[in-house]
Every structure is written in C-alpha cells, then in structure tokens.
C-alpha cells in the first residue's frame, strides 16, 4: 500500500471532481469570458466578504502578485523568517517587486503586533519604506500552527495606524478555519488581500485564488498577464476549485484527527527528539542522532511510505484527501516497527 505523506499537494481529483471538470462551461478567460472561472471568483469573494477574486495557476503567483500590487521597488515587507513568501518562492519578492524583507523571529511562524510595531522603519532617507505585513495561516514551517485571531486583529490595527497593507498567505486557511470554527468573512474583513490554495487539502489539481478589493484585483490581473499567468479555457480547472470549495471543506477535520494520531505514535518512538504540537494536518518532528534523517526516510520509502526532510533532522508528514484510515493504520504500524529495526 502506497502511503504518500510528503504533502497535501499530492492528491488527485476524485471521480466526482473529474465529472465537474469535464462538464464545466468554458470560454476565453483572458477575454473575461469563462463562466466557470467567473463563478469561482465570485463565490470565493463572497465567501470571504471581499470585493473580488482572481484565479491563478499557483499559490506562489497569488502571493507574489499581492506583494507586487501592494509595494513599490525599494519598499520593505515584514514577515516571519520561516515565511513561504520568503524561503519557498524563489526569491520572488526581490525579483518581481524589488523589495527588501524585514524578518521576524516568531513562535512557530506567528509574531505579535508589538513585533510589527518595533520593526516599522521611521521615515528617513536612510531606510526602506515599510509598506506591507504578510502573515501565514496555518504556518507550514511551524508544523501547521494556527494564528490567534485576536492577535491578527491587533496587527490589523497596527497596520492601519501606520499606513501598512496586510496580506494573508492563507494557502491553508481552511485548515485553520476547520480547527477553530472561525468564519472566512472575519478574515476577509481583517486583510487587504488573501491568497487561498485550492490544490492542497481541498484536493483540486491546480489553482489558487487571490482575494481583495476591486481595484487591487484589477491591478493584480494586469500583473498576472505580465507574468504569463493569463489562462484561456481555465474553467476546467476552476470547476475543480468550485467543487473543492463546495464539497471538501468539512472533511478537513478528518485529516486533522489522523494527523493527531500519527503525531501521538511518533511521540512514542525512542529516536524522536521532539514533535511539534499537531494543530492541523501537518506533523513535524525532529529525530535524534541515533536516527539520521536520510536513513529514516529511506527505510520508510522501502515500505512505500513517503515523507519529506524539513531542515536538519526534521521530518514532515502531511495528511490529506488521499489518506484514509487504512493508510493511517498501516503508517502507524510501519512507524512502530522501525523501533525494532534500528
Ligand atoms: C503551498 C504553499 C504555497 C503555494 O505554493 P504553490 O506550490 O505555488 O501553490 C504558499 N504558501 C504556503 C504556506 C504553502 O504551503
């Protein structure tokens, strides 16, 4: 049995999702004529109580478009030092937007309004102009950690008082919402822009949405074109996204429960030094010296169980749509058996 826990991006469309894709009405979206894309964008914007949305090929593109529209070259972006926009998007902030980055040392990816306030540059010819704050929820490098909404509101206030824009890299926002029971619209009202990934836990094959005000989205649409992200009959993909938003949100709680079970099993292993608190669908843990990460990954791969290295001696496992209770049981059994094979 193949158990792929490398990422929640490895899911494949279900039969019902494929059906929705094949029967989607389509048109040329660069001409603004694809009804399935329009339907997805309008639905998502309403869900988050934002004015408009833009369907894009990837979460990297939605984040980079947001940074591009919010800033001018020479400006500065505040984010955590583990932020996806900083470490996993190919240096895009420098390349597309020409901005410098002010990195904060948060708690598993989460910082405070006070951290933000202390890192806003004064207006002075020496300094870059602080323009944008970006937060990630859930935090990938934090092991799927969730932000406290009250802190988000405090950061919103600090941004408003200082004339800064606030972006949410919400590629796993539905995991956070599933865990806290909070409303998407609360997030929509707190941020100037939000990026939402459809091809992670929600199970669509491709696509992300950028949400924001009408004028902001108009500008993002222009930059999307410039970056080569204007797609033609994209409705086939958008239909998968709509299907995901309508059908795959309630089941995220199952992913979280399975991740908790995996985390508890990992916690018991003698060669595991530390497991980060399992808050959503990510299990992040550190192996001790008795178990080099390369060996751990190889031993599991021989049994068709796939996990990824995530920094020195750290391993990440992610539950998703294609991991059911049989996979979970087998994964737990393989992990326990490793104890005897050291
Ligand atoms: C997956 C992910 C993204 C976007 O990645 P793409 O592969 O470009 O879709 C952005 N931020 C976080 C935290 C992610 O996990």
pLDDT (tens digit per residue) in 243-288: 999 999 999 999 999 999 999 999 999 999 999 999 999 999 999 9
What is the per-residue pLDDT for 339? Answer: 86
What is the per-residue pLDDT for 316? Answer: 98
Stretch 149-165: mean pLDDT? 98
Regarding the beta carbon of 281 and ligand 1, being less than 6 Å apart is answered no
What is the per-residue pLDDT for 81? Answer: 98
Interval between CA 59 and ligand 1 midpoint (Å):
5
Residue nearest to atom 3 of ligand 1 (CA): 59
Q: Return d(Cα 9, Cα 3) in angstroms, integer.
A: 14
From 58, 60, 208, 281, the mutation candidate for ligand 1 (largest count of ligand atoms within 8 A of CB) is 60
Regarding the beta carbon of 36 and ligand 1, being less than 6 Å apart is answered no
Regarding the beta carbon of 235 and ligand 1, being less than 6 Å apart is answered no
Interval between CA 60 and ligand 1 midpoint (Å):
6
Q: Which residues on neighbouring strands pair with residue 104, listed in sequence order?
A: 80
Q: Return d(Cα 263, Cα 43) in angstroms, integer.
A: 35
> At residue 334, does pLDDT exceed 70?
yes
Residue nearest to atom 10 of ligand 1 (CA): 59
Model-wide pTM > 0.95: yes
Q: Return d(Cα 208, Cα 60) in angstroms, integer.
A: 9
Regarding the beta carbon of 203 and ligand 1, being less than 6 Å apart is answered no
Interval between CA 270 and ligand 1 midpoint (Å):
32
Interval between CA 200 and ligand 1 midpoint (Å):
8
pLDDT in tens, 116-134: 999 999 999 999 999 999 9
Cite the DSSP H helix spans in the chain: 15-22, 35-47, 59-70, 84-87, 92, 113-118, 149-161, 173-180, 184-190, 214-226, 235-247, 252-267, 293-302, 325-338
Regarding the beta carbon of 11 and ligand 1, being less than 6 Å apart is answered no
Q: Which domains does the chain have, with CATH numbers?
A: 15-247 (3.40.640.10), 251-339 (3.90.1150.10)
- Across all residues in the chain, what is the average pLDDT? 97
> At residue 159, does pLDDT exceed 70?
yes
């Amino acid at each position: 049995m193949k158990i792929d826990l490398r990422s929640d991006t490895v899911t494949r469309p279900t039969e019902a999702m494929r059906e929705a894709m094949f029967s989607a009405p389509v048109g040329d979206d660069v001409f603004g004529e694809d009804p399935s894309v329009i339907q997805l964008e309008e639905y998502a914007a309403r869900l988050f109580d934002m004015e408009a949305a833009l369907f894009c090929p990837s979460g990297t593109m939605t984040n980079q478009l947001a940074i591009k529209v919010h800033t001018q070259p020479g400006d500065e972006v505040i984010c955590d030092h583990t932020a996806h926009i900083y470490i996993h998007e190919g240096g895009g902030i420098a390349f597309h937007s020409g901005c410098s980055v002010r990195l904060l040392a948060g708690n598993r990816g989460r910082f405070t309004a006070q951290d933000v306030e202390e890192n806003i540059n004064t207006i002075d010819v020496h300094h870059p102009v602080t323009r944008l704050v970006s937060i990630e929820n859930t935090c990938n490098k934090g092991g799927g950690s969730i932000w406290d909404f009250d802190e988000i509101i405090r950061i919103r206030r600090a941004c408003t008082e200082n004339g800064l824009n606030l972006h949410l890299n919400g590629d796993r926002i539905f995991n956070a919402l599933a865990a806290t029971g909070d409303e998407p619209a609360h997030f929509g009202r707190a941020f100037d822009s939000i990026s939402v990934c459809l091809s992670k836990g929600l199970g669509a094959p491709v696509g992300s949405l950028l949400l924001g005000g009408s004028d902001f989205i108009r500008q993002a649409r222009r930059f999307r074109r410039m970056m080569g992200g204007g797609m033609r009959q994209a409705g086939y993909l958008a239909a998968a996204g709509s299907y995901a938003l309508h059908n795959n949100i309630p089941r995220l709680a199952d992913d979280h429960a399975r991740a908790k079970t995996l985390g508890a099993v990992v916690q018991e292993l003698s060669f595991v030094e530390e497991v980060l608190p399992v808050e959503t669908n990510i299990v992040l843990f550190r192996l001790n010296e008795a178990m080099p990460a390369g060996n751990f990954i190889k031993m599991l791969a021989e049994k068709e169980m796939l996990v990824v290295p995530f920094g020195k001696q750290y391993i990440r496992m992610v539950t998703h749509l294609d991991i059911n209770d049989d996979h979970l049981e087998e994964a737990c059994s393989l992990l326990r058996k490793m104890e005897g094979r050291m």
